[in-house]
Each structure stands twice: as structure tokens, then as C-alpha cells.
Structure 1
């Protein structure tokens, strides 16, 4: 790929645009019937649109945009709402909400229903609404939808709309099959190969050398503030503590040690272990006959081998462990035999055991004094674990009760620390390479969702590490004052001015190329430094192999042009202008790729289903009629983008 394509897509804004449309299916959760508030000068009862005879409240849009941004942030945690709006995410939310209402209204108009019982059954299936027992938990349900700004009524309304959409559209889009002739056409595109050239006329080559006036810079910055949006930053206060830092008295008393010794008397009594060599035979008669041969002086291993069995040596075990592995009867017989003796055969789960006692290990009894160090260590660990659990529960009670972090820290001897301004992904704003304490990483997502400053306690490593944290300061995503980014703004202004001249140069070059001059010669005629040119020789399948990456726009244009043509394309963020010239198109014979047509039909099935859905929804919009409240939508857009009201 062309190296200069990557500049835009490596930037934060470029990445935001690439991710702006991900995970928007969660808009079913975006309903809200909250009233009485205002947003951007539009009352909560105002409508964003009217579908047929039903009004869509503007709160649907505000909640939907926030929900969509939250989902996109799962892939790009530092994405800001202004960037989301600028990248087209807001417009997609508007369309999604209107279409959801269109489908539901059309379904009702044609007699489809999603009754209360059906909605209830769907709610019961959602795992997020289940408690510890696995059954539906009303508190968990209300808490989950409440975190999304929803009420029971609004959530049910959204779920009802989804159920109606399933009833209405599922039959229309189920398992569509692309006709073979069309599939062959699409399959042949995969085998298409294109040759051409792509050049970049950089704005930097035409940028003015002098700086703008204060008035020019101020006006330009006001129009381009979204380019300088800083993501939301939060400063946290926290105190880390754990099993190694909490002071608890875990020393056992002499009485406790004696009681444990008495309780585990069997553990400290004299004991015996035995190691055996054995094999298993299917019948009692065979076992007795083989045991008799061994008692007569034959080696157990030899007897087993001659009888077609394999003898195995076992590790030393006590009687209980041996009984668990074989049978109680065999273990009893084994512990009755002398060292070197043959065990009386006994039946186990696998057959009849024939065995020899190889070794007897006798462990002497231990007195209380001898067992005290071991018991002391065990009791100390147990008491410390219990004491820490009690102390953590006590601290948690203080935190939940509203006690300030500083007071909790002082009471329990904890050290309070403050982070620098953090981004949602845990990086320190403005300090490349700076890190935070690892205990904060698991709670960052919660910290960036908290609306209140009351402290919270979180368990980082179960039973060992804990952290109390609170949000000390929230700096909303916004463009900084011009003075803080003056140098970057000047560079942006110069780039913008250069882009205008670069467009004129690109038009001149394009005219020469269309007149028969080579692209290389047309670029040289401009006599400017910094022009970049690269020859392209690619198959479409090479682009398809990079489905997980965003294909650069100039390459997309190259693969959509007619042979022998040239076009210009604006580069993002005033980088300059691309000139795309396509020289040749060739296609490999499709018959040399067996199975490609069938594979294409299968892969395009989902795209065809989505196309059917869009066409059906468009027909519904036309029949019902949709009227948008452009003023209300624009007001919400301005508020979300952080723009000043006009």
C-alpha cells in the first residue's frame, strides 16, 4: 500500500471515523421517556421527527447518541462525542432511530403485535438481568437499564419495536440467494487486476511561509475547533491496600493451638504408608493361583508377564488413599501383610488385585510441642485471612456509608494518592510513556462512568489487593483555548491555505494527464518539492484479504474508475489532493477458480439480506411519511459537538 495513505488512518480522528459506525445495533436500548429537562434549547417533550402519526421525542436522539458512543468506545476508549459527531456517527444514529420507529409503526398498522407476555419472556432470557441464582432479578434489571438512562416503560417500548421488526422483516430477508449470473459477475471482480498510478499533491508544498494575522487565525480556529478536541480527562484520588499492608492481629493463642491439635489428632498420631507392586486379573481363582506361585518363590513381575499382565509399582500411600484408589478390602489386606510379603488377593473396581508389599514407611506420632510450629503457621494464615475480610468489609461499610476517602484513609492508616489527568484507556494525558499504578487499571472503566464523586471500593486481586477510588476532577472533552494550541493552529491554517493552492495544482496536472501527458511529467512541470507518486499493480483479491483494515480511499477510487481515466480526490484534514490515474484493467478467467462462484453467493448472502432490509424500510418510510424536525436535530448536534448556540 502507499505509505502516505497511512497518515490519516493512523491519526486519532481517522481512526474514530473508521470506528464511528460500529456496534450501533444496540440502539434498541436507546429509548427514553424522561421529561421535564431541556437540551440545547429544545425541550424534552419536543419531537425529533414524526413517523406517520407518531412523534419521536428528542430524548430518543440524545440517549441514542450517548449509547452509540458508549458502544464505539469499547473499541476506541478515547473517542469523544464531538469526534463521533464529526465522523458521521450522529447522522447514523438519527437514521437508525427513525427507521426503528418506521418499522414498528408499519408493523402495527398491518396488524402485527408484540404483547406484554412476549416482551416479558424476552426480558427473562437476557443474562444481564439474572441474579446469582440464575433467575430473573428485578433489581438487577432496573439497575442495568438505569445505567443506560432508561426506564421500564422505555425499555419495553424499544424491545417491543425489535420484536415487531423480527416479525415483519425476518421472512423478507431470510436466507436470500444471489442469482448465479449475478454471482459470476461479482466473482469475476475478485479476479480483476488494475494497473495505474496515484500521486499526492501535498498542501505543505503550497503553504504560505508567513503566519496568519490574529483575526485570520481566530476565525479559522473557530471553524475548525473539532480538529483540536481533547478527549475527556479524569483525575482520580485513590488509596491502595491489601493483605500485606493492613495491620491485623493474627497470632494464635496457646489455647487455639491446643484445640486445633486435639481436633486434628489423627493427623498427628502415628501412621504408616505402604508402597506396592501389583497387577489386576479378571477372576478370583486366577488371582489366588498367581499369588500362590509368588509365595512359592517366583518373582511377581515374572509371574505377571508370563500370565499376560503388566505389573506396576505404586508410590507409598496410607490406607485411606490406597482404599480410594483400589478398594477397602484390598487396602485392608495390604496393610495386614508384612514388608516383602504377598497381599491376600481382593477384588477392586477393575478386577482382582495381586500385589507385593515393597516398602513400609512408619511415621512416628508428633506431640503438641512438635506440631506447634505447623499449627501456628496454619492458624496465623487462617486468622489473617478472616481478619482482613472483616476489615475490608468494615472499610466497605464506611465507604458505602458516605465517609470521605481522606477520613477512611486516616482511620485505617492508608496513603491517599492523586493521579495526573487520565484518558479512558489509562494513559496519562500529555505525558507520553507515563504509567499509573496497576491496581487502578481494572477500575478505570467504572471511574469514567461515574457521575458522582463518592468513593468506591474495588477488589483488584480477590482476597489480596484492594483500592478505594473517587473522581477528583472531570475535564470534559472540548477544544482548548487558542492560546494553548496556537502553534498547531498556525500549522493547520497554513495547511488549509496550501490545500486550496494544491487543489488548483491538482486540476492543472489532471488536465495535462487527460491531454496525454504522463503523470510523472505533469508533476514535474509544477516544479514543486514534496510531490509523491507510486505505481499500483494490484488484484482486487489483495484488497479483500485486508478486510480487517480500512482500504485507503484512493485505492477504492482506482478500483471503481473506467480504464484510461484520471480523477482527483481530496485528502483528509487538508493534507492535499490525490491524483488517481488508471491505465489498465485485466481479469483472470473465472473457470480457473473452481468454487469461487459458490463462495461468492454465500458471502454476499448477508449483504443481500441487508439490502432487502434497507429497501423494505425505504418503502415503509415512503408509505408512512417521515417529517424531520431539522431545528431540533441541529440543536442536539450542536450541543453534542460542543458548539456554541447561534
Structure 2
């Protein structure tokens, strides 16, 4: 991410989606691409002089989907509603970028190519182990993120322009001290209470439940004693790996493929190249004149007192960067070139090593080629098999026969619930699915009407059709079969009620001067502990106090922060009840220790929130002044309709 985003407006709603990770390279710096970007006729968003191509929209959309897959998993990221939301957000972000750029240009805000270059060279994402810019690292990251030089430099230029335009809107935002103090007091006030825990499990219930009591408990909690819906599922699965296997490709075909594509297995000669860059030829000549026999570029740079050489890494002679140096890169290893001119200045170039051309032997590639050929054939086979399967199903062929006739496999899954568990509590979803995920099958299975087949659905390795053969609706279990569980529930309920009764009686009899520790001493079912200091969110603000979770809950915190000092109250907690007496209310000290830092952080976050709100309102106002056209067809083709 561009550093300015991190430091100035890293949480701004306006800027979310403007940029992806700033990763790419200029080779050695192709400033020509910054000045004369290409034009894509397939425009998705058009606004004045700014447009977003369908390719760029597709790339950014795909990038966001990939990030979702990494964070939420493939199933969530591939959900249709999630994809539409991501596409809508991507369109809105790019639309905002176009609008901001139009407004900035109207004010005469220009970003020069030199500023773009300097910004990128300063980014740590592109630095090597020595902390210096690495063209090789830059190129690698560019490739990893599917960015061209032109695309990346445009992103950087847009970012810098937006900084200059939108930054001042929020730079002078201020948060009133009264607001910060109120927020700080609310968040950081702590309270201390003496507490008595009345655990339900310590209560003794002597009575046995009657049949009527059990029936009432059963009826009031019938959902607890209801079997889930069960469905019997069958699947026809077409998997690439089953349609064409590597073993089905003979050695003769593999060898023929290798011979026909021999050039793709040939690695051209590469040279490890480094360079020194100068603004003028005279500077390059003066530096080279300092060279002694055996000196490399590092020694020349040291003598000339200039920046260390730039390592361009291993490069083929056909590499555009190398071509720009002409014959200078063809000199013997270790020989420093004469000054050579490019669009970026004057260079001294040196090759420190040469890796000769090499052709990978057939035996090293045999298995790889065989698998690749099988994969290619399986794609064609998969298409034909999927058409065959759909035709078979349309003709009324039973799913098992349709699967076999199409070259697929048939899987039958007995009665299971939404978790993939049968009535006996055993998993039934771990057989025969291959790479088809259990969660995907279960989701489709419980969305498909009983007695029908799903449409042809795709997964990572192919296609499948699912049929719901039968279903058993959720059914309450007979009380006779769950009597033991009902008795346990009744008993637990009675213990909780007993704990409540004990707590309320103690609280009613508790004199203002009575000590809670003395009460605990008289009744061994109770336990005393001091609670706090803790915040209204149930947190401790000091390292030496750990909150007792058995004595804290939502109701407890609400009552604790509503009461006054010396007030007694009774509250439910997990597993029982608590009797509490407020002992102390501690206002936060905003100038002491960790609290001082918390206050400073809150003040900064509040100021940032106000700044972001100002930027958001300002940006929203730009929508009316700078209209933008959205190509609905392009967006629909990509994967949904964005409004």
C-alpha cells in the first residue's frame, strides 16, 4: 500500500478500493508508459478524461474475490450474493476514483512522471535486503499481481492526485475536547464490586419430577428434542481426473509433444546485470575514469561518492531492459561498459556472470508433459461428458445410469442432516466425493426440492448433478426416548431457580453494613470475590487483574454501571446468580501511565473519524457535479449488475 495511505488516511471510507497493494516494477523505469498510456476500447466506466477499461474492472474484481477466498474460504467467496456485492463495491470504488480525478484536474492538480517514479522507488515493498530499490523485486511483484507497468503507474498517479486533492479536506479536522473527554470517560471508567457467586450446581433439589412436570419441560423445549431434517442424496460426478488419466497418454505422444514444443523448454542465455545511472554523459565518463583494473561498479561508485549500483538480476538478452543498453551488455564478464544512453539518462553497465542457454532433457519433463496433455484432453472430454450427462437426465435416464453413460461416477449418500451426520450420529459424507467439498454438497442438497435434480453445477475438478431422493422433515422425538435428557433439563432448571431464590433472599436480608465475606462464611454454597476494576465492556485495564468470567455477563455489566456506590443488586450469570455491591467508581485518569496513551489514541482516532466523515461528505458532493457513465453490459458480463 502506498505509504501516504497508511499514514494520512488509512481508514478512510473514501479511499477503500482506490488502490490495491502497490506492487510492480518499471524494469529500469519506463517513463514513456506513464506519459502515453494505452487506450482500451472496452470501457466499463467513463468520466470526462478518465475511463476504466473492462479489463481493469475484471482484474480488480478478481483480486478482491481472491482475497475473500483467502480470508473467508472458497465457499463464502464464491457465493453469488457475495460476488455481486464485491462487484458493486469495486464499481463504486473505481467510479469514485474517476470522479476525484476529474475534480482534481479541473483545479490544475498535476502529478509529474518524476513524482510517480520517486514515490514508487521509496516504497519498501520494492526494496531488497539492503533497503534499496530492486528492479528485479519490482518486476517479480508486478508479475505476481497481474499488473503491467502502465497499469501500476496509472494507479500511483491517481493515488498521488487524490492525496493532493482530498488530503486538505480532512487535514485540519479537529475533535472537540468535550467530545473526547465524554468518550474517554464512557469507555475507560472502571468499577469495583464485592460479589457473592451462587452457583446453580451447588443447589440441592430433593424432589423428583412428576410426569406432568416432565411433559411441561418437554413441551417448552421441544426444539431441543427434535430430530433435524434428513435427506437421501445421489450424485453424478464428472471429474477431469477420472475422464482422462495421465496413464492413458502413451510415450510416443509425449515424445512428439516434446519435440514439437522444444523451444518452450529452452532457457535462453541470461546475464547478471548491474548498472550505475547518471543524468549527464560527462558524469558517467568522469566516474569511469576513476576505474582501476579489476574494479567493479561498486568500487567505481565508492570512488565517485555516488549511490551504489542497481542490481537488475538475471536477464535474457531479449529482455526489453537489456535491449535498451545495446551492445553494452554483450561485453565479457567483469568489463565495465562505456557510457550508454537511454531515455532515463546515462548508464555504466556490467555483466558479472553468464548462464548459458540450456534445453531441459526429455526425461526430466516426461511426467510433467504427460500430466499436462491429460489435463488438456480432460478439459475437452469434460465438456463433452457434461453435455452427455445433461442429455441423459433430460431424457429421463436414472441418475446412476446417466453418470455411467457419461463417463462419470455415481455416489449415493444415505439419510443425512445439514451437518452430514446420519440419525446414528455418524458422518456419511466422506466417501466418493473426491475434490467436491462436503459443505458445497450439503448447501445444495438442502436447497434442492425433494424428488428433483439440481442443475449442472461446477466445482474445482469438474461438474456434478445432485438429486434429492427422499427427505424426512424435522420430527420431535417421543418423550419416552429422551426422558433422561428431559429430566436433566428439568433438574438444571430447578437448580437455577433455586440459585435465584437464594440470591434474592440474601440480597433482601443484607444490611448496608453487612460484609459479604461474612455471608459467604456462613453459607458454604457461596463464594466471595472482589470484582474489578473493570470497564462496562467487561475488560480489565490493568495487567495485574484478570476478570473472573464466572461473575460477569451482559446483565451484570448493565446493572453494575447503572448502580451507585453501596447499591446491592442480583444478576444472572452463566451457571448461576451473583449478589453484588458497588464498592467504588473510578473515573479514568487521562494523564497517567497507560491511560494517557489511551486518551491520546482516542483523540487521534476521533479526529481521524471526523476527517474521514468530512472527506466522505465532500466526495459524495462531487457525484452530482461530475457525472460518470457506467457500461451496464460490461459489468453484467463480468458477473452481475452494479447500480
TM-score computed with the length of structure 2 as normaliser: 0.48
Q: What is the TM-score normalised by the length of structure 1?
A: 0.48
Instruction: Name which one, 1 or 2, has greater alpha-carbon Rg.
Output: 1
